[in-house]
Copies of this chain bind each other. A is one copy, B any other.
C-alpha cells in the first residue's frame, strides 16, 4: 500500500461510536414495536440488531483466528435463540461491546490488508470485511430511523456518537 491514513484504534473507535448510536436506536423503540414493527415487509429492528451482533464479535474472532467454520455454526445456533425482550437485547449488545474492545487490540496491523474468506462466504481483504460490517449496521440503522419516524418517534441525532 502506498499511503496509510487510519489507525486500527481509530477504526475500532469509529465502529464503537456507531454501535453507541445503534444502542440508542434500540432504546428508542417501544418494546413491542422493536420486535414487530416493519415497513414494506422488511424485518423488525430487533432482527436487524441481532444480525449486527452476529457480525461484530464473531467477525473479529474470525479476523483474529482465520477460522470461520465454527463461527458460522455458532451463529446458526445463536439465530435460533434470539433475545426476546429489549433488556435482553441491550444486555447482549453491551456484552458484545466489551468483548470487541478486549479482542480488537489483538489484531496484528498487517492483518487488515490480508485476503481471507469471511464466514466462509465473502472473499476480500480484511479491512474490507470490517468496513462492510460497519456499513451494514449503518444501512440497517437507517432503516430503523424510518421505522421510528413512521411510529411518530424522533430518532437520536445521527451525528452523536
Q: Give chain A's interface residues, CB within 8 Å of chain B.
A: 1-11, 14, 18, 39-42, 109, 112-113, 122, 127-128, 131-132, 135-136, 138-143, 145-152, 158-159
**Pair B3/A8 contact, Cβ less than 8 Å:** yes
**Pair B109/A132 contact, Cβ less than 8 Å:** no
Q: Which residues of B contact A10 (CB under 8 A)?
A: 1, 127
User: How many copies of the shown chain assemble into the complex?
Assistant: 2
Alpha-carbon gap, A35 to B147, bound state (A): 20
Q: Which residues of B contact A113 (CB under 8 A)?
A: 5
**Pair B2/A146 contact, Cβ less than 8 Å:** no
**Pair B3/A109 contact, Cβ less than 8 Å:** yes
CB within 8 Å for A127 and B40 given contacts A135-B18, A139-B142, A143-B142? no
The distance from the CB of A133 to the nearest CB of chain B, in whole angstroms, is: 12
**Pair B109/A136 contact, Cβ less than 8 Å:** no
**Pair A112/B6 contact, Cβ less than 8 Å:** yes
Q: Which residues of B contact A1 (CB under 8 A)?
A: 6-7, 10
Q: Which residues of B contact A41 (CB under 8 A)?
A: 149
**Apart from A1-B7, A4-B6: 17 A-B pairs, beta carbons within 8 A:** A1-B10, A2-B9, A3-B8, A4-B5, A5-B6, A10-B127, A18-B135, A39-B150, A42-B149, A122-B159, A132-B159, A138-B138, A139-B141, A139-B142, A139-B145, A142-B145, A143-B146
Can you list 27 residue pairs at the A/B interface with Cβ under 8 Å? A1-B7, A1-B10, A2-B109, A4-B4, A4-B6, A5-B11, A5-B112, A5-B113, A5-B127, A10-B127, A14-B128, A18-B135, A39-B39, A39-B146, A40-B146, A40-B148, A42-B149, A122-B159, A135-B138, A136-B158, A138-B139, A139-B141, A142-B142, A142-B143, A143-B143, A143-B145, A146-B147
